[in-house]
Amino acid sequence: MAIFTGAGVAIVTPMYPDGKVNYDKLKELLEYQIENSTDAIIICGTTGESSTLTHGEHLNTIKFAIDQVAGRIPVIAGTGSNCTETAIMMSQEAALYGADALLLVTPYYNKATQKGLIAHFTQIAGSVPETPIILYNVASRTGCNIEPETAAYLVKNVKNIVGIKEASGNLSQIAKLKALAGDDLELYSGNDDQILPIMSLGGLGIISVLSNVAPRETHEITERFFSGDIKGAAELQLKAIPLINALFSEVNPIPVKAALNMMGWDVGPLRMPLTEMEDAHKAVLRQAMIDFGIRLD
């Protein structure tokens, strides 16, 4: 059985003005997502600023989300690292907390070979043999691409590596991967502008930034597709394109935090080296949100 189908939110990590994690606000965001039909919570991923959380904050945030969601929908914990031993430690802790699955990004900066990626992911998976794992392919941020043959090998030969979040943007690569891996692979789009194309290749849904600000609409794209209303799903996907473009006009999660603050969520600042959104981009984002029908504070 798939970890989830539909729209999972790559949720932000809200912070107080002094930069500390705001768990009260995270509770509110989690409840908002569940109330608005989100199918899974992805905690401490890229959008959650995992790279600038301390290990303690990272694990505390994962545990908080698991405890708050309390089994109502799956919680997938981002526990990847460019250090294999660190990823093992974080993955084992998240598994103990009861994470439904783990999201493992490719090791950044090191630029591992494909052989190195196989060794890295196999060791982590072996340390948490009962916890499903979704690989996360986002070479634009990590400098390291998971080749289709590598991902297909891992899902076919490591029992708890079951899926991939594909954010390469390369539909030809994704089609090749699905052809190689077949039903052994649980495929999720990692790009909000490619929800429908990837589901048409056999994808199960999206791990989404858009869902932070439009959870019900993002879920509905997937729901319409799976119910057979391809035209309706396409209409919603295309309607969302200007907003999606605005949400990626600067590096994620700068725009999505700005958007949530415009909505009155008060999710606070970003951790350096990320800085606040440029005013010109913010104006475009605001208009895109209004045009999409999002109520602003």
Q: What is the mean pLDDT of residues 94-111?
A: 96
Of 136, 178, 188, 282, which one is the catalytic site residue?
A: 136
User: Which has the closest alpha carbon to 37: 232, 220, 190?
Assistant: 220
* pLDDT tens by residue, 47-60: 999 999 999 999 99
Q: What is the mean pLDDT of residues 101-106?
A: 98
Integer distance in angstroms from the first to the last C-alpha of the chain?
Answer: 40
Q: How confident is the model at residue 169 (pLDDT cuts 50, 70, 90)?
A: very high
Share of the chain above pLDDT 90, in %: 99
C-alpha–C-alpha distance, residues 238 and 87, integer Å: 37
DSSP per residue, 140-195: HHHS----HHHHHHHHHHSTTEEEEEE-S--HHHHHHHHHHHGGG-EEEESSGGGH
C-alpha–C-alpha distance, residues 269 and 58, integer Å: 17
| Residue 293 pLDDT greater than 90, yes or no | yes
Q: What is the mean pLDDT of residues 124-149?
A: 96
Say what the pTM is. 0.97
Which pLDDT score is estimated for 131? 98
Catalytic site includes residue 136 = yes
Average pLDDT, the chain: 97
Q: Which structural domains are found in the chain, ordered by start? A: 6-237 (3.20.20.70)
Which pLDDT score is estimated for 30? 98
Of 25, 63, 153, 165, which one is the catalytic site residue?
A: 165
Which pLDDT score is estimated for 265? 98
| Residue 1 pLDDT greater than 90, yes or no | no
Which pLDDT score is estimated for 234? 98
| Residue 297 pLDDT greater than 90, yes or no | no
